[in-house]
Amino acid sequence: MSEPQMIEYDEFGLFDENIAEFDLDVAEVPPVERVAVDVEHDPGRSISVLRWGSGSPEVVFVHGGAQNAHTWDTVALALGRPALAVDLPGHGHSDWRADGAYSPVNLADDIAGVVAALAPDVSLVVGMSLGGLTAMELAARHPHLVPALVMVDITPGVNQQKAKAVIDFVDGPQEFASFDDLLARTIEHNPTRSESSLRRGILHNAKQSPDGSWQWRYDRSSHARSRPDEASGDAPVVDAGTTPMWDDFESVSCPLTLIRGSVSPVVDDDDVAEARRRQPDIDIRVVDGAGHSIQGDRPVELTQILTDLLPTL
């Protein structure tokens, strides 16, 4: 019986690929380190983050459900500012919640201590999908930690129908016999992404077993399809206009920007209308050609928007 083909993985060894694929003007990769922060209200559990650059982080990035902090690599490289990218509980290298309760409210309370400890001078908190709702709850519940909020392709109006493409992908197998099998399924469900980008994403978001098979890193219960009675973020089972999270959205007092992907079904015109009704001063941006994961599809365009929103150096 032949030995399984093992694939080497260096967490910090793929940045040159990000730079080359998107032709980024980056002369030198900034220092990047992984840091763990204990969850104060849950002893024994910690949250892992990537700290980019030197100096106090100006931006905090929060990824979507079934993703991890590395989804922001290209944006962080293009931005060139000190930043923090969080692995949400149950994702990446962060510990899983024993109760499996990955609601945006719980996640916001979990990461509040991380932001306070590692990014006390943050200018912008950026969250995508589940991370966007988490960042929204962070702004609502811990307003001193969020001077300005960016929600990437998400509103409280998300439901199962709008997030069907996300659900169909995450509802797939947990284990794959080979990397090629995992890559093939990922390509099938992510038509707006390049194969090289998806390959990097898999290496960051899955792990290989000694027998050569591959498994996703994230806690499967972290996605709404495992608990359809709770609005966990990517596909809460509620009517778009009635979710109580719209009230939390309305309570956000800091400057708020919503960025939509032009070919994403997750945020529709009704969502935008409700967002404007609840937050009349909201800034709405649309990124052409981007699907739900704008940071993966159009990272350079997303970076330009974030640069415009950040204070001038």
Residue positions annotated with a catalytic role: 129, 153, 292
For residue 21, how far is the Cα from the chain centroid? 20
DSSP 22-65: TT---SSPPPEEEEEEE-TTSTT-EEEEEEESSSS-SEEEE--T
Sequence length of the chain is 313
Tokens of 283: 């800034």
Strands 46-52, 83-86: pairing is antiparallel
Single-letter amino acid code for the residue at 114: V
Q: How far apart are CA 214 and CA 220, in angstroms?
A: 15
Single-letter amino acid code for the residue at 203: L
Helix axes 195-205, 179-189, angle to 10 degrees: 120
Tokens of 205: 């978001």
Q: Please name the residue that has the structure tokens 């390509």.
A: 187
Q: How far apart are CA 245 and CA 251, in angstroms?
A: 10
CB 79 within 8 A of CB 152: no
Within 13 Å and on the Cβ side, how many CA atoms surround 251? 14
**Residue 294, SS3 per DSSP:** helix
Q: Please name the residue that has the structure tokens 């220092």.
A: 31
DSSP 252-280: --S-EEEEEETT-SSS-HHHHHHHHHH-T
